[in-house]
Amino acid sequence: MEKLYFQVDSRLATLLSQEYSSTEKALKELVDNAWDADAEQVSITLPEPMSDEPIIIMDDGTGMTAQELSSQYLKIASDRRVRRGERTAGKHRLIKGRKGVGKFAGLMAASVMTLATRARGSEVSFTLSLTELEQVADIEHLRLSPKVDACLPEQHGTTITLSNLHQGLVYPDANRLRQLLIQEYGRQKDFTIVIDGKPLAIDDLEGTYTEDAICLPDTGDVALRFSISSGKTGLREPGITLMVDGKAVGKPSFFGLDQCDDFPPKLLRKMYGEIEADGLSEHVTAGWDSVVENSERFQRVAEYVQDKLRAAFTETHGAEIRMAHARLQKAVHERLAAMPGFKRDYADRAIKKVLEKYYDEPSSKVESIVFVVLEALERSDYRTVVEHLADAQRRDVAILADSLNDFGLADMAFLVEQASARSTFLDHLERLANTADTLEATMHKAIEHNLWIFGSEYSLFSSNQTLQRQVEDYLDRTYRGEFANKRPDLLLNENLNGEYLLIEFKRPLHALNFADYQQATGYRHDFLKHVSKPIKVLVIGGKRSGDYPVQNLEPNVSTMLFADIISTARRQIQWQLRTKF
C-alpha cells in the first residue's frame, strides 16, 4: 500500500494570522518574538495612514543563521519551550512564544513580509507573500529563495518589514500599541521598546501623568513619576515600583494606600509608575526584594508618595465623586431631612463613603446601594441597642463594642431588622404547616425565595430560569390527562458553584413514605439526562411513615420535616443575635 502523508493547506498561514483581533495585537506577537530572542531593544516604525509605507520591526536579539532559520523558525507550530526549555539562553527570560505560529502574525496586517536576520557573521533574508501562498495547495511545496550575505561578526538581530498593507483594515495606531505593550513590558529595564522614535515610558499610559522631585531629610533626592489610567478596567500590574541605584526593589506596591480605609480600592488598580530613591540603598534587604521594615527613611518616602497620589486622584476623580454626590443629594434630601440629627450626619458620611468606593460604577447601581443604607438607618431600632448596653454586664458590653467596631452601627441595625423579619416569616410558615388544608404548592411558594430556613448549606441556592423551564416542561409532558391531579410540586435551584438542588414538597399533614422517596430520586434521574452537574435532593413533608427509608439512601438525598425546619431556623436566629449582641 502506498504511504500516506499529512498535508498542510497553504491557507494555514492566513488562518493563523487571523487569530489576532487587531493589527496592534499582531505586532505585539512580533515584539514577543524579540523578547524570546534576548533582544535589549525593539524599534517599531509605523506608516502614515493610507500611505504606501511599510511597518518595520527591528530588534537586536540573537538573530538566526541559515541553518537555524531552516530547522527552527520555518517549522510550523514548533514549541520553542520543548526544544530549548522554559527560559531564554542569554537573559533567562520566561519564553512568551508558546504555539510556534507567531511568525505569521505580520500577515494579519500586510500581504508581504520580508525577514532579514543576522547572526555570527551571516545575514539571511527571505520574502513571504500571500499571493505566493495562494498559488500552492500545500505550504510545504512553497519554495522560498533565501538570500545569504556576509555581515560583521558583532552584528545580530532581526528585522521584519511588512509591506502592501491591507487597505480594508484600519492602520495600526501608535497610541493603542503603546497601551498594549506598556502593561507587559513597561517595567522591563533590560528591554526597551521604541515606537516611532519615542521609547515606551510611564507617560505613554493613557490617562494623567505626574512627575515630581523632592529632597527628603537623610534620604536625599527623590524622583516620582506616575500615571493614573483613564481606562475603565484595572491595569495588569498596578502600583509604584521603587528604584534604588537603577534597580527595582521587590514588586510594585501602593506605599500603604492599600491599608487606608478611606481610599477606594478600585483606584489602586489605576496607578502605574516608579520612584527613584538612591538614598535607600543601605536600607534594602540582601535579596533586593524589599526595604527594611522599620526604616525611617522609607517611611518618609512612603508618606511623600501617598500625599502625591492622593492629590492626583483628588484632581482626577474628585470632581466625578462630587457630581455623583450632588445628583444623589437631590434624590435623598427629603429622607435625610426627616432623620434625627445624629442619624442624618451619619447617613451623609455613609453616602460619601459609598460614592468613594463605587465612584466608577453605573449610577443606577450606586443609587441602589445608597438607598439600602438609608433604608437600614430609617428602619433600624437604635433604642434596642442602647437598652441592651444599659442592661448588659461589663463582659457583654465589651463583646458588643467589638461587634459594633467590626460591623458598623448600620450593619448591626440591619441584622436586628433582618432577624425580626425572619421571625415573623417563621410565624406565618408555622401557621401554614399546622393548617390541615395547606397544599404543596402553597408551601412551595412560601419557601421558594427563603431557602435560608434550611440552614447555611442551602442559603446560596437561588432560582435559575433555565432550570425552572426544564422543570415546567418535564411536568407538563409527564403529568397530563388522568395524571394531571397527581402533578408534584418541584423546585430546582442552582448555587454559585453550579451545583443543583431539587426540592420535592409534600403537604404538611402528609406522612413521607417509601414511594415518595422513590419518586423524588426518580425525578433526579430524569433531570440528569438534561444537566451535567450532580443534583442534591431534598424531600420535605410534615412527618415520616414507618416505611420511609433511613439507611442505604442514594448519595446526596436529605429529608426534612416542617416542624424541625422551623425550630432549627428559630434557634439559628437566636444564636446570631446572642453572639452578635
Report which residue type is found at 537. V
| Position 385 confidence tier, pLDDT thresholds 50, 70, 90 | very low
More confident residue, 259 or 303: 303
The predicted-structure confidence for 97-113, as pLDDT tens digits, reads as follows 655 567 778 888 888 99
C-alpha cell of 399? 463583646
Contacting residues for 43 by C-beta, under 8 A, at least 6 apart: 56, 57, 58, 59, 194
The predicted-structure confidence for 349-362, as pLDDT tens digits, reads as follows 777 777 666 666 66
Share of the chain above pLDDT 90, in %: 23
Provide the pLDDT for residue 104.
Answer: 75
- Please say whether the beta carbons of 328 and 355 come within 8 A: yes
Enumerate the β-bridge partners of residue 215: 221
Residue matched to cell numbers 505613554: 204
- Please say whether the beta carbons of 574 and 434 come within 8 A: no
The predicted-structure confidence for 121-139, as pLDDT tens digits, reads as follows 999 999 988 888 777 766 6
- Does residue 197 surpass a pLDDT of 70? yes
Share of the chain above pLDDT 70, in %: 71
Distance between CA atoms of residues 359 and 349, nearest Å: 15
Where in 74-206 does DSSP place strands (E)?
110-119, 122-129, 147-150, 157-165, 192-195, 198-199
- Please say whether the beta carbons of 280 and 297 come within 8 A: yes
CB atoms within 10 A of CB 92: 10
User: Between helices 409-433 and 363-379, what is the axis angle to 10°?
Assistant: 80
Provide the pLDDT for residue 316.
Answer: 80
Phi, psi of 247 (to 5 degrees): -125, 140
| Position 577 confidence tier, pLDDT thresholds 50, 70, 90 | low
Distance between CA atoms of residues 280 and 260, nearest Å: 24
Phi, psi of 579 (to 5 degrees): -75, -30
- Does residue 280 surpass a pLDDT of 80? yes
Distance between CA atoms of residues 489 and 442, nearest Å: 10
More confident residue, 272 or 410: 272
Mean pLDDT, residues 66-75: 81
Mean pLDDT, residues 307-336: 74
- Does residue 154 surpass a pLDDT of 90? yes
- Does residue 265 surpass a pLDDT of 50? yes
User: Between helices 363-379 and 341-357, what is the axis angle to 10°?
Assistant: 150
Question: pLDDT averaged over the chain?
Answer: 78
C-alpha cell of 427? 410565624
Report which residue type is found at 467. L
Distance between CA atoms of residues 219 and 303, nearest Å: 13
- Please say whether the beta carbons of 63 and 119 come within 8 A: yes
Domains of the chain: 12-195 (3.30.565.10), 202-317 (3.30.230), 430-570 (no CATH)
What SS3 state is found at 501? Answer: strand
Mean pLDDT, residues 528-542: 80
